[in-house]
Copies of this chain bind each other. A is one copy, B any other.
Amino acid sequence: MKLYDFTLSGNCQKIRMMLSMLGIEYETQTVGLLDRDQFSDEFLELNPFHKVPVIDDDGLILRDSAAILIYLARKYGKPEWHPDDPAQIAEIQQWLSFSVNEVFNGFAMARALIIFKREGDHAAVVELSKHGLDVMEQRLKDHDWLALDRVTIADIACYPYTALIEEGHVPLEPYPGIRAWIKRVEALPGYVGMPGLPYAS
């Protein structure tokens, strides 16, 4: 198993967490996003969207963190991570879609504008992020996990950019349910932190 990786990427962090939690050994190849390595011909062949993570599992190439989480959970994990039941799998997908849209274009972008000095309207991104946090808080104020009654890949998909959001100058102080959930994720067997994660143990 090979992970095309960039240390500061929250999307890569999802995969590093999942691989660790499933006990899968892997090697990494760094794709220097700040050096524009993701636009090399070699990498564009792997992912024309020029994004990390990408995995190569014995020749099977997969892009997109949500797709990779599904693959790893179903191939190497217990069915609890991503079950077959139509209603359960759909409930998880609601949060995977949230991680791909609101979390990535809100939470992650708020951080990218600050730490990578990306161009964009920070106030608009913060507003989008706060709405996303409100919806997460509404769920987590009286549930332990985002989907179902247990940890699933929905939690792994949403965790990194939520835990990192204060780097984007969006405070988590108003969200006690989310803060408790972050600690719950960080207490899972096999959890690994990343540099800069404000709540990393």
User: B residues within 8 A CB of A100?
Assistant: 97, 100-101
User: B residues within 8 A CB of A105?
Assistant: 101, 105
A48 at the interface (CB under 8 A from B): yes
Q: Is the CB of B134 within 8 A of A48?
A: yes
Q: Is the CB of B70 within 8 A of A90?
A: yes
Q: Which label, helix, strand, loop or mixed, suits the secondary structure of the A interface? A: helix
Can you tell how many copies of this chain the complex includes? 2
Determine which of B64, B84, B135 lies in contact with A94 in the assembled complex, contact meaning CB atoms within 8 Å. B64
Q: Is the CB of A89 within 8 A of B101?
A: no
Q: Is the CB of B75 within 8 A of A86?
A: yes
Residues of A in contact with B (beta carbons under 8 Å apart) = 48-49, 60, 62-64, 66-68, 70-71, 74-75, 84, 86-87, 89-91, 93-94, 96-98, 100-102, 104-105, 134-135, 138
Some 8 contacts from A to B, beta carbons below 8 A apart, are A60-B87, A62-B94, A63-B94, A64-B94, A66-B97, A68-B90, A71-B86, A100-B100
